[in-house]
C-alpha cells in the first residue's frame, strides 16, 4: 500500500528573531517541504521557552502534521508507569489521566526494552498490543503504530513518543527514523524543563509548607490544629484523602481528623497492622495499610509517624494517586511539627485543667460552699456532681531514694493509671499527695475499689507498697463532698496502720470511722489510757489491746480470751492490772465512751510509731 506523502511546512526560513511561535498554524508558515524543515520547526519550538506544556503541545502538532498520523502521544516515565503528558487535540482531555504500566502494551515495551518499534498493519494481532491495549486511546481501532524512547543525557528513559494511524495509512521505517530524531531533539528540552518544573514545584511546596507551619503555630485548640493539618496536608501533597490518628492506651490509634471528613470514629490496633508499616516502607506494608484504612479506594498509601522523642503521638495517613518521595518528605516534616504542637496544646490544656481542678477542689472543701460557683467549675471540667462520685487520696508512705521528684512521679503514675481505668476522673497533685474525684457510674463501690487496687498493683509490681490510697464513701450531693475529702484522707493515713493494705476505703476502717469523725478533744478517759499505753511501751505488754478487745466483746471474758489466745485467768489478771494502773472501775464505767477513747489512743500511738512517714 503506498505511503501517503507528508505535507511540508510552507516556509523554509525562520521568521525574524530565529524563533517560531508554536501556537501558530503551520499552514501560514512558508518554505521547505521535507522532514528537515519539520525538525527545524521542532528546534524552534523547543527554543520558545522553558514552559514544558507549550513545548510538548507544539511538538505534538508538528509531528502529527509531518507524519500524517491520526494521533501523537508523549508519555513521561513516572515511577513504575508511563503517564500521558501531551496528546493530539482529540485526546488532550486524557492528559495526566492515562497511565500505562511499565512494560505493558507497545509503549510500555519500548520503555522497558529501550528500543524503538513500529507495527505496519494489523496492530491488534501483535502480541505486545494484544496483551494490553487501551480502548480510551483508540488502540482497538488503530492499525499501525510507531513508538520510540526518549533518553536523558545519562541514558535513562525519560519517556516515550507513540504515533497511531488509521487505515489505510501505514507507518514505515522512515517514520521511526524521523520520530527518533524528534525524540533526541526534545530529550534535552524535556530534561531541562522537568528540572525547572521540579524546582518550581519544590519552591511552591516549601512556600505552602511554610504557610501550613504558620497555621499550625497559630492554632488555638487541639481540634483546630488537627482539622487544619488534615486539610492543609491534603492540599500540600495533592492527596486523595488525609487522615490523622492519635495514639491511645493499649497500642491503639483513634481517628481524630480527616479530609474529606469520615463520619465514623475509627480505632485501629497498631499491634497487628500499622506497627509494621511504621517500621517498613515496603509496598507490601503499604498495601496492608491501604486495605485496612481504605478498602474501597485505589491509590498509594503514605504513613508518617508523629513522634516526640521515643513517644509515638500518632500517625498521618495519606492516600495518593501514585507514590511520591517528595510527598513523603513533606508529610514527614508536617508530622514532626504536628507532634510538637500537639504536645504543646496538651500541656496548655493540662495546665488549664489543673488550675480548674485545683479551684474546684478548693471550693468543695471550703467552710462555706457556693453551689453555683462549684457547678460552673465542674461543668467546665465535664464533671457531674449530681451523679454519685467517690474521692480518693494518694499519699507516699515513705521517702524514695530519689527524693521528692520521684515521689511526685510515682503519685502521678498511679493517678494516671487510675484515670485510665476509670474515665472521667480528675486529679490534683499536691505537696507529697494527690487527691482525685472519680465518677462511680453504674458500678458498685466494691467494683470501683477493685479497679483502684488493680491500678496500684500494676504500678507497684512485686515491690513493697510505697503509696497508700484512701477511698471515701460515695457522695451524691455537693454538700457531702467536703466530708468525702476528709474520709479519703483519713483512710489513706489509717488504712495501712490498721489493716496493713495499700488501698483502704473509709468503710474498711470499721469503728475507727467514729473515732476519726469526732473531735480529738480531751476527755476523762484519755489521760488514764495514755498512761496505760506508756506502760505497754515500757514493759512491752499488751494491756491497751486487751482492754480494747474486752470492750469490743461487751465484757465477755470467754470470747475475749479466745480472741487474744490467752487463758481466762490471764485475762482476769490483765484486767485487774488495768484497773490499778488507770484508776478505773470497769464494771461502773461508760463502756461506749471508754471504747472510743481506747481506739483514739491506739490510733494516736500508731501514728507516732509511723514516724512521720505519712504526709497529708
Fold of 219-349: Beta-Lactamase (3.30.450)
For position 112, what pLDDT does the model report?
Answer: 92
Distance CA 195, CA 182 (A): 20
168 pLDDT tier (thresholds 50, 70, 90): confident
pLDDT digits (tens, 9 = 90+) for 421-445: 899 999 998 888 899 999 998 889 8
Residue 160: pLDDT above 90? yes
33 vs 429, more confident: 429
199 pLDDT tier (thresholds 50, 70, 90): confident
459 pLDDT tier (thresholds 50, 70, 90): confident
Q: What is the mean pLDDT of residues 55-80?
A: 88
For position 222, what pLDDT does the model report?
Answer: 86
Distance CA 126, CA 106 (A): 9
Residue 26: pLDDT above 50? no
4 pLDDT tier (thresholds 50, 70, 90): very low
Residue 591: pLDDT above 70? yes
Residue 217: pLDDT above 80? yes
Q: Are 468 and 397 in contact (CB under 8 A)?
A: yes
Fold of 370-512: Alpha-Beta Plaits (3.30.70)
Q: Are 67 and 163 in contact (CB under 8 A)?
A: yes
Q: Which of 86-95, 278-287, 288-297, 353-362 has the highest mean pLDDT?
A: 86-95
Percent of the chain with pLDDT over 70: 82
21 pLDDT tier (thresholds 50, 70, 90): very low
Q: What is the mean pLDDT of the chain?
A: 80
For position 252, what pLDDT does the model report?
Answer: 76
Residue 149: pLDDT above 90? yes
Residue 32: pLDDT above 50? no
Q: Are 433 and 616 in contact (CB under 8 A)?
A: yes
Q: What is the mean pLDDT of residues 568-586?
A: 90
Cell numbers standing for residue 181: 530524531
For residue 475, the 8-state DSSP code is B
Residue 317: pLDDT above 50? yes
Number of other residues whose CB lies within 10 A of the CB of residue 147: 26
The CATH class of 10-197 is: alpha beta
Percent of the chain with pLDDT over 90: 15
Give the distance from CA 389 to its chain's centroid: 31
Please report, for the chain, the start and end positions of each structural domain, with discontinuous segments joined by +. Answer: 10-197, 219-349, 370-512, 518-609
Q: Which helix (H) or strand (E) holds 501?
A: none
610 pLDDT tier (thresholds 50, 70, 90): low
276 vs 422, more confident: 422
For position 353, what pLDDT does the model report?
Answer: 76
72 vs 189, more confident: 72
For position 25, what pLDDT does the model report?
Answer: 34
pTM above 0.75, yes or no: no
Q: Do domains 10-197 and 370-512 have the same CATH topology?
A: no
481 vs 399, more confident: 481
Residue 74: which residues within 8 A CB-CB, separation 6 or more?
A: 56, 59, 60, 84, 85, 86, 87, 150, 159, 160, 161
Contacts 24+ apart (CB under 8 A), 256-263: 256/223, 256/226, 256/314, 257/223, 257/226, 257/227, 257/229, 257/230, 258/230, 259/227, 259/230, 259/231, 259/233, 259/234
Among 100-104, 190-194, 256-260, which is the least confidently predicted range? 190-194
For position 523, what pLDDT does the model report?
Answer: 62
For position 470, what pLDDT does the model report?
Answer: 92
Measuring CA to CA, how many Å separate 394 from each of 60, 109, 407, 513, 538? Answer: 79, 73, 11, 19, 34
Pairing of strands 10-11, 30-31: parallel
Among 61-65, 306-310, 486-490, 569-573, which is the least confidently predicted range? 306-310
Residue 340, judged by CB atoms within 10 A of its CB (0-12, 13-18, 19+), counts as: middle
Amino acid at each position: 500500500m503506498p505511503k501517503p506523502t507528508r505535507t511540508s511546512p510552507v516556509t523554509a526560513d525562520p521568521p525574524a528573531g530565529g524563533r517560531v511561535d508554536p501556537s501558530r498554524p503551520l499552514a501560514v508558515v512558508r518554505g521547505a517541504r521535507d522532514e528537515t524543515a519539520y525538525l527545524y520547526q521542532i528546534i524552534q519550538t523547543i527554543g520558545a521557552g522553558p514552559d514544558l506544556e507549550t513545548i510538548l503541545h507544539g511538538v505534538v502538532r508538528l509531528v502529527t502534521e509531518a507524519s500524517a498520523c491520526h494521533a501523537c502521544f508523549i508519555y513521561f516515565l513516572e515511577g513504575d508507569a508511563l503517564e500521558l503528558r501531551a496528546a493530539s487535540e482529540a485526546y488532550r482531555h486524557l492528559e495526566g489521566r492515562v497511565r500505562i504500566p511499565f512494560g505493558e502494551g507497545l509503549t510500555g515495551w519500548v520503555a522497558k526494552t529501550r528500543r524503538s518499534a513500529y507495527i505496519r498493519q494489523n496492530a491488534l494481532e501483535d502480541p505486545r498490543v494484544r496483551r494490553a491495549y487501551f480502548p480510551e486511546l483508540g488502540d482497538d481501532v488503530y492499525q499501525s503504530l510507531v513508538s520510540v524512547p526518549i533518553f536523558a543525557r545519562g541514558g535513562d528513559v525519560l519517556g516515550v513518543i507513540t504515533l497511531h494511524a488509521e487505515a489505510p495509512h501505514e507507518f514505515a521505517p522512515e517514520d521511526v527514523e524521523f520520530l527518533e530524531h524528534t525524540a533526541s531533539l526534545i530529550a534535552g528540552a524535556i530534561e531541562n524543563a522537568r528540572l525547572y518544573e521540579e524546582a518550581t514545584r519544590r519552591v511552591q511546596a516549601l512556600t505552602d509548607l511554610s504557610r501550613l507551619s504558620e497555621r499550625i503555630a497559630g492554632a488555638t485548640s487541639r481540634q483546630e490544629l488537627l482539622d487544619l493539618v488534615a486539610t492543609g496536608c491534603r492540599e500540600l501533597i495533592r492527596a486523595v484523602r488525609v487522615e490523622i490518628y492519635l495514639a491511645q492506651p493499649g497500642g491503639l490509634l483513634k481517628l481524630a481528623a480527616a479530609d474529606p471528613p469520615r463520619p465514623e470514629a475509627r480505632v485501629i490496633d497498631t499491634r497487628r497492622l500499622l506497627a509494621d508499616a511504621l517500621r517498613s516502607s515496603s509496598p507490601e506494608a503499604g498495601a496492608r495499610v491501604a486495605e485496612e484504612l481504605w478498602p474501597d479506594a485505589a491509590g498509594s498509601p503514605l504513613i508518617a509517624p508523629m513522634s516526640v522523642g521515643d513517644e509515638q503521638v500518632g500517625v498521618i495517613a495519606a492516600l495518593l494517586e501514585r507514590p511520591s518521595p517528595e510527598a513523603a518528605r513533606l508529610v514527614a516534616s508536617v508530622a514532626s511539627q504536628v507532634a510538637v504542637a500537639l504536645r504543646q496544646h496538651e500541656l496548655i490544656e493540662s495546665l488549664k485543667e489543673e488550675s480548674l481542678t485545683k479551684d474546684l477542689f478548693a471550693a468543695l472543701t471550703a467552710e462555706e460552699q457556693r453551689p453555683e460557683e462549684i457547678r460552673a467549675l465542674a461543668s467546665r471540667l465535664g464533671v457531674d456532681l449530681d451523679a454519685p462520685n467517690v474521692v480518693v487520696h494518694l499519699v507516699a508512705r515513705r521517702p524514695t531514694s530519689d527524693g521528692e521528684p520521684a515521689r511526685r512521679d510515682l503519685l502521678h503514675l498511679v493517678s494516671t493509671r487510675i484515670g485510665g481505668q476509670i474515665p472521667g476522673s480528675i486529679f490534683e497533685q499536691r505537696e507529697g499527695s494527690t487527691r482525685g474525684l472519680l465518677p462511680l457510674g453504674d458500678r458498685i463501690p466494691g467494683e470501683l475499689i477493685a479497679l483502684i487496687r488493680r491500678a496500684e498493683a500494676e504500678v507497684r509490681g512485686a515491690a513493697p507498697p510505697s503509696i497508700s490510697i484512701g477511698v471515701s464513701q460515695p457522695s451524691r450531693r455537693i454538700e457531702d463532698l467536703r466530708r468525702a475529702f476528709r474520709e479519703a484522707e483519713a483512710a489513706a493515713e489509717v488504712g495501712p496502720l490498721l489493716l496493713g493494705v495499700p488501698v483502704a476505703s473509709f468503710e474498711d476502717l470499721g469503728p475507727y470511722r467514729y473515732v476519726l469523725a469526732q473531735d480529738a478533744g480531751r476527755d476523762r478517759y484519755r489521760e488514764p489510757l495514755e498512761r496505760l499505753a506508756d506502760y505497754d511501751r515500757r514493759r512491752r505488754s499488751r494491756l491497751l489491746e486487751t482492754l480494747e478487745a474486752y470492750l469490743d466483746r461487751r465484757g465477755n471474758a470467754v470470747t475475749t480470751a479466745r480472741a487474744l489466745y490467752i487463758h481466762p485467768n490471764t485475762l482476769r489478771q490483765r484486767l485487774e492490772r488495768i484497773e490499778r494502773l488507770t484508776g478505773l472501775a470497769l464494771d461502773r464505767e461508760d463502756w461506749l465512751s471508754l471504747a472510743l477513747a481506747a481506739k483514739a489512743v491506739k490510733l494516736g500511738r500508731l501514728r507516732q510509731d509511723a514516724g512521720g512517714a505519712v504526709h497529708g
